Structure 1
Amino acid sequence: MRSRILGIFGGKYSRKHFAKVVAILSKHSEALGFSRFQRPYRTTTSGCVAEDIIKIQFEHWQRPKIFEDTKPFLQSVRGLTTLILSNIDTKDIHEAIRYHDIHFNDVITSEDFKSYKPNPELFKEALLRYNLDPIEVIHIGDSILSDVCGAQNVGIKTIWLNRPNEKSLRHKSGLHM
């Protein structure tokens, strides 16, 4: 059960959010009709140990692989204000930055605002902190929904970093981005 929950949340929700869901489900498992969720039940139906899967996910957030062009790009924009806006926990983002020895002016996370992209709070906070108008900013992101739509909804121009070569929403739904 825990591994299925992790799969649902993926990297889009915080460690605290995931731990809270697990605690709630553990506390109310009998009433919800799945008594096997108790602590001794640590393996999934596939035989995997849920804690091992969770550890792998947290390590991925703190030590993610970066693309070979990431550091050269960041060097090329040195001198410009660069921020990370992320739905991953603050501690995990700072650990990843430290691990890769990369630099940003600021980090704003959903954990700070209890709101996830594409909601406007993170984008608006970045504009407010640096006294910027949306027309002065470009947001680069890999998620059409969280990054592109979220930034565009507050008037920020966007670049969709489409590494897996996905079809845009225009192709999926007729929307024009």
Structure 2
Amino acid sequence: MPHTIKALLFDWGDTVMADDPAKHEPMVTWEEVRLVPYIHPALLQLHKDYTLCIASNARDSNAELMCQALERVHVRHLFRYAYTSSELGAAKPEPLFFSSLLAKIGLSPAECIMIGNDLQKDIAGARAAGIRTIWYCPPGSLVATDGRHLADVIVRSMKELPSAVRLLASKGS
């Protein structure tokens, strides 16, 4: 019997929020914080049908600081859950990261889709945990063509995300 997708698990940096690797302080303290292009309308559409969760390896922020940054760009209310590797006791792509996350939100791997920009940490890690995946690979990003098989779906723009989620959700488990 197929499982219904109930939750979308989002990476944070360069999947929801535009990251600046040159900065080494919590994002909430940056002068400017920005969403990645087109993620806001996608989140508005998706949160109506799915539980949204941020699941990040954020080095400089814990979940509380991450949520404060999301508040600055007016999307915090769209996410029911927010966790970083410090709260989960492991970092992506470690299996413990995903098993701890699933335990906290009370769902099985078959009920979730992971959306992220890092092929190894987000996509390979989630796939190894039995979670379906959407790889966000915008034009101009470094593409590991030999790893494309790891993702269930690849989106080049967040404009494509709602239809990619619907596609995966319609496939069942």
TM range (shorter): 0.5 to 0.7
Q: Secondary structure at the match of 2:91?
A: coil
Aligned to 2:40: 71
Structure index of larger Rg: 1
Aligned to 1:27: none
Say whether the 8 Å CA contact 1:144–1:169 is kept in structure 2: no
Aligned to 1:99: 72
Say whether the 8 Å CA contact 1:108–1:122 is kept in structure 2: no
Alignment of 1:152-171 (within 5 A): 152-163=127-138, 164-168=140-144, 170=146
**In proportion to residue count, which structure has more helix?**
1
> Counterparts of 1:161 and 1:110 in 2: how far apart (Å)?
20
Question: Structure 1: any 5+ residue segments left out of the alignment?
Answer: 1-10, 12-52
Q: Which amino acid in 2 is paired with 1:100?
A: V
> Counterparts of 2:88 and 2:103 in 1: how far apart (Å)?
14
Aligned to 1:35: none
Please say if 1:87 is aligned against 2:87.
Answer: no
1:114–1:74 Cα change, 3 Å = same
Say whether the 8 Å CA contact 1:139–1:157 is kept in structure 2: yes
Instruction: Choose the corresponding residue for 2:89, options 109, 114, 118.
Output: 114
> Counterparts of 1:96 and 1:135 in 2: how far apart (Å)?
30
> Counterparts of 1:84 and 1:176 in 2: how far apart (Å)?
24
Say whether the 8 Å CA contact 1:87–1:110 is kept in structure 2: yes
% identical aligned pairs: 26
**In proportion to residue count, which structure has more strand?**
2
TM-score by length of 1: 0.60
> Counterparts of 1:129 and 1:111 in 2: how far apart (Å)?
14
> Counterparts of 1:73 and 1:176 in 2: how far apart (Å)?
24
Q: Which amino acid in 2 is paired with 1:68?
A: P
Say whether the 8 Å CA contact 1:152–1:158 is kept in structure 2: yes
1:169–1:150 Cα change, 3 Å = farther
> Counterparts of 1:131 and 1:87 in 2: how far apart (Å)?
20
Q: Which amino acid in 2 is paired with 1:57?
A: H
Say whether the 8 Å CA contact 1:140–1:158 is kept in structure 2: yes
Aligned to 1:126: 101
Q: CA deviation at 1:154?
A: 0.4
> Counterparts of 2:102 and 2:47 in 1: how far apart (Å)?
19
Aligned to 2:18: none
Larger relative CO (CA 8 A, sep 6+): 1 or 2? 2
